[in-house]
């Protein structure tokens, strides 16, 4: 049953991808051939961006409340959980740093000269006023005001309060988990309008700037792809070999079917059950896999970190409002927190990008309309990088906790001990019944 449902979901996603590609091509043609018409189509792209904006507060609230709970669950299991969280945070900083360096070298948005959106920006006279401005009028107004920092504060307060409630807070957490499913379902419905939004956004940008826009978009896409490849080939490969003496490319060949599945769905979530089973088969103990993989799917988002970094710099440069070094750091730290728990959901990266810009530089939010047209092309690289990072993290954690059988791994990766595809479903179902929290962690992001 699950296999049939998985095929249906992949097929539909495939059609959406094709529709976005066609829409982008048509938008480019209209922008070049009929520039005035292209510019007139800008409200279509803006409308799609506004729909995504609508989802920012509920997404941040649900993911952060559940994310704080996930940290608590991971930390409670002791050494493995502590190592996992520490490693995930460290790798997020590494990915952010690499993205910052590449983005500041390329400056892909230079020359576009997009007009800033007409957004009312609150003047912050000093640090005290800024801090006081984060506090909402009421607990619930923080979720409806549209002020992202207010939402962030309320989400953290609710998350920590539910931790303090212990067992009594579990029903509320389950309710928020169901709410997150609803929120992400609405978001997935909105994403089916991505072809229309991409058509209007690309037509408007190309109509206004001509070939300059196409060159800039090509630069950021290629820069992002190259950055992800370098991150995998240098950082992750070097770590895996140094710590575990495992060749990353052998591990990637072992996970080849999962990579194809992710590429077809643009979501690393689709390969989660298979990754759990395969990492156990390759020699990592079940407890380590059960903690690291689900937690990593929410907190180890290397590809997403690189994307958010480069997209933010691109939009700021394109709108002639470059971010200072201090603004870059604070903005990306916010995004690192706000993105946790939203992995694998189409459109969640775009919503996080908008949320970060809205909290720091509201006048740049409308610039995300140009990203809509190419976001789909970058989603596969994000998902593949996130997935690779989680596979590597599982082996590293197994090595550090001495729960990794390197000899078995060598047999598996050399083909002497092949993975039995026929046992995957039954084994994973037993895991879901036997291990409560690890199996439940990624559930809210499956729709």
* DSSP labels, 164-178: HHGGGGHHHHHHHHH
Q: Count CA atoms within 13 Å of residue 304 on its CB side.
A: 36
Answer whether residue 72 shows pLDDT above 70: no
Average pLDDT estimate for 73-81: 61
pTM of the full structure: 0.66
CA dihedral for 79, 81, 83, 86, sign (positive or negative): negative
The arithmetic mean of pLDDT across residues 72-96, rounded, is: 76
444 near 177, Cβ under 8 Å?
yes
pLDDT of residue 231: 93
- pLDDT tier, 101 (very low <50, low <70, confident <90, very high otherwise): confident
C-alpha–C-alpha distance, residues 190 and 84, integer Å: 34
Among 398, 212, 434, CA closest to 296: 398
CB-side neighbour CA atoms (13 Å) of 63: 30
SS3 284: strand
Pick the CATH number of 2-25+45-445 from 1.25.40, 1.10.3470, 1.10.3860, 1.10.10: 1.10.3860
| Band of pLDDT at residue 250, cut at 50, 70 and 90 | very high
Of 246, 221, 386, residue with least CA distance to 314? 221
Token couple for 387: 């997935």
Q: Which residue has the higher pLDDT, 145 or 221?
A: 221
Query: What average pLDDT score do residues 341-352 get?
Result: 58
The b-or-e profile of 338-366 (16+ CB within 10 A means b, else e) is bbbbbbbbbbbbbbbbbbbbbbbbbbbbb
Q: Which residue has the tokens 């609508």?
A: 54
pLDDT for 215? 76
H helix or E strand, kind and range, residue 12: helix 2-33
pLDDT at 263 over 80: no
Confidence of residue 113 (pLDDT cuts 50, 70, 90): low
Domain residue limits, the chain: 2-25+45-445
pLDDT at 193 over 50: yes
């Amino acid at each position: 049953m699950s296999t049939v449902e998985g095929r249906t979901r992949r097929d539909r996603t495939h059609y959406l991808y094709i529709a976005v590609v066609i829409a982008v091509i048509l938008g480019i043609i209209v922008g070049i051939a009929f520039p005035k018409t292209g510019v007139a189509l800008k409200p279509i792209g803006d409308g799609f961006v506004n729909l995504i904006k609508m989802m920012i507060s509920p997404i941040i609230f649900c993911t952060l409340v559940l994310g704080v709970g996930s940290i608590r669950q991971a930390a409670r299991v002791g050494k493995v959980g502590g190592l996992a969280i520490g490693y995930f945070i460290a790798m997020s900083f590494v990915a952010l740093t690499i993205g910052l360096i590449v983005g500041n070298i390329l400056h892909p948005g230079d020359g576009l000269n997009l007009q800033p959106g007409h957004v009312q920006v609150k003047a912050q006279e000093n640090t005290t006023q800024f801090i006081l401005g984060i506090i909402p009028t009421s607990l619930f107004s923080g979720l409806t005001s549209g002020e992202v920092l207010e939402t962030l504060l309320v989400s953290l307060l609710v998350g920590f309060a539910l931790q303090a409630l212990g067992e009594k807070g579990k029903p509320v957490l389950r309710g928020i988990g169901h709410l997150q499913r609803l929120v992400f379902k609405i978001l997935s419905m909105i994403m089916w309008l991505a072809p229309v939004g991409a058509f209007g956004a690309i037509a408007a940008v190309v109509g206004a700037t001509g070939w300059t826009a196409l060159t800039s978009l090509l630069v950021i896409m290629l820069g992002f792809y190259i950055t992800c490849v370098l991150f995998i080939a240098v950082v992750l490969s070097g770590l895996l070999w140094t710590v575990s003496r495992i060749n990353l490319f052998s591990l990637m060949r072992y996970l080849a079917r999962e990579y194809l599945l992710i590429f077809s769905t643009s979501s690393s979530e689709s390969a989660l059950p298979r990754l759990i089973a395969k990492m156990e088969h390759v020699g990592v103990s079940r407890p380590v896999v059960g903690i690291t993989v689900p937690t990593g799917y929410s907190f180890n988002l290397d590809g997403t970190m690189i994307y958010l970094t480069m997209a933010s710099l691109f939009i700021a440069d394109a709108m002639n409002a470059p971010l200072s070094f201090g603004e870059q750091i604070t903005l990306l730290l916010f995004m690192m927190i706000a993105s946790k728990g939203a992995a694998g959901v189409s459109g969640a990266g775009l919503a996080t990008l908008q949320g970060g810009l809205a909290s720091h530089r509201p006048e740049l939010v409308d610039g995300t309309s140009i990203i809509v047209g190419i976001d789909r092309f970058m989603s596969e690289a994000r998902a593949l990088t996130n997935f690779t990072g989680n596979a590597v993290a599982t082996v590293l954690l197994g090595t550090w906790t001495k729960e990794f059988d390197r000899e078995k791994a060598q047999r598996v990766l050399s083909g002497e001990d092949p993975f039995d595809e026929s046992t995957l479903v039954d084994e994973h179902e037993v895991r879901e019944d036997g291990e409560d929290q690890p199996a439940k962690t990624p559930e809210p992001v499956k729709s």
